[in-house]
Amino acid sequence: MWMDKQRGIRVSQEELLCKNACGYYGNPAWQGLCSKCWRERARAAGTPREEIRPRSDGTLPTFSKFEEKKNIEKGRRINTVRKLFWGSPSPPKPQESSESRANVLKAYENLEPGDFTGFLKILRSPPSQRLQSRCTAFLNTMEAYHDLPVQKQSDLVQDFYQSFAEYFSSFPEAQVTQIMEHVEKLIMTRLHKWVFCHDSCDDEQKDLALQRRIRSLNWVTPQMLGVPFPDEKVSVTGDPFLPAITAIIEMDAKRAPQDKLACVSKCSQHVFEALSRSNSEPANADDFLSSLVYVVLKANPPRLHSNMQYVIRFGLPHSLMAGESGYYFTNLSCAVAFIEKLDGPALSLSPEEFEGYMLGQRTPCALNRRQQVISDTQNLLEDLKGRQEKLDQGMDALNAQLQKWVQEVHSQLDETRSQFVLAQKEITAQKEVLLSTQDNKEESVLVLEDQDGGLRETGC
């Protein structure tokens, strides 16, 4: 792995694959080997690893003698547990009938992808009682002996995966993988509190060391890593990698290894999305790894080392050896290894410049520009705040004038209404006077007519 000033961190596809050239993805935690080759090497080196083997029916031997020896020193305790696991088995149970096995397999054939609830229903059904008993016996055994070394526990879990998968040997590989993912989730969700960050290893110390290392590199800019987008874009529009940072932080909250791997995959997909939006050129593997290093530096995920070791020790081998999740996890391992060994030349800095940044004596130019942008933005916000205050004052004055005008209009309306009532009264009075005058005239005319008629009658 090396740095290219134009394109960031460069890593070839061959560097990501297993050193044994088996075609699977390797991992720095396994010295560049894949899970399969690493375990084969561990078994071949020195004496074979002593493992606690399950019986033919999938259950593990009983451990009644362990309570009598639980206070002896750690070395003899492991030997005692080893003897108990290899002790004489209990009387064999009747073999499962072919009809019962066929019913079980048929039920699992109809299982929908990702339907963990459906898997649990099938597992708890009467035809699957044998498989459920195997899971229960294994979980009880692991919880009873949770103080075994973590590598021994890892071997036991991996052996259980292999033994359980053999039951479905007649299924297509994709379907077996789907079933085993449900088994992993069931087993590791319950064992998480016993095996995660185990006392027999130094994961906690390495977590703290890695967090301190990442915290000391908070001055590293995207430009130094060769991330293909301008620093000003981060300051002005917000960090485009924020969804990826959130996703990698969420990994610590998950229990099952596959759920933690899902967070890594989600983070990686967000990285590719950010690169596609921020860069006119298509994103490549080098851009992706540089950006992933930046995301890890900015996120400083809690217990990152422990989470990665948990996935390595207790995850399904196929999830890490191949496929999208294996590729993303291998790149995350490379990013962490790069951060742990990061020095001046890797960032195109001299040793003196790198030391100055680490001691806080220097500030990146990009960081200065970012601070200037932040300062300008703050000044702009202050100016906008002043304008808003003036606008609010103007609005208050306008509102007061509007209320005063409304009051004046109401007053004029009241006055006009009063005048209209008075005028209406005057008109009514005049009308009555006219009507009265007209009536009087008509009466006078009638009187005159009557008088004129009377005179005619008298012959005057």
Is 46:154 a contact under the CB 8 Å cutoff? no
Ramachandran area for residue 408 (φ above 0: left; ψ -120 to 50: alpha; else beta): alpha
Q: State the Cα–Cα distance between residues 425 and 421, nearest whole angstrom.
A: 6
Is 251:260 a contact under the CB 8 Å cutoff? yes
Structure tokens at 365: 């130019």
CA-to-CA dists, residue 21 to 14, 269, 316, angstroms: 9, 27, 20
Q: Which of 80, 78, 83, 86 is nearest to 60 (CA)?
A: 86
Question: Over its length of 460 residues, how does the chain's per-residue pLDDT go in tens digits?
Answer: 444 444 455 555 556 667 776 666 666 666 667 666 766 676 666 444 444 444 444 444 444 444 444 444 444 444 443 443 333 344 444 455 666 777 778 888 888 888 899 999 999 988 888 889 999 999 999 999 989 999 999 999 999 999 999 888 888 888 899 999 999 999 999 999 999 999 999 999 999 999 999 999 999 988 888 887 654 544 445 678 999 999 999 999 999 999 999 999 999 999 999 988 876 667 787 889 999 999 999 999 999 999 999 999 999 998 888 789 999 999 999 999 999 999 888 888 888 988 888 888 777 765 555 555 666 788 788 888 888 988 999 899 899 999 999 999 988 998 888 888 888 888 888 888 888 887 777 777 676 666 666 656 665 4
Angle (CA) 187 91 162, round 5°: 30
Is 298:279 a contact under the CB 8 Å cutoff? no
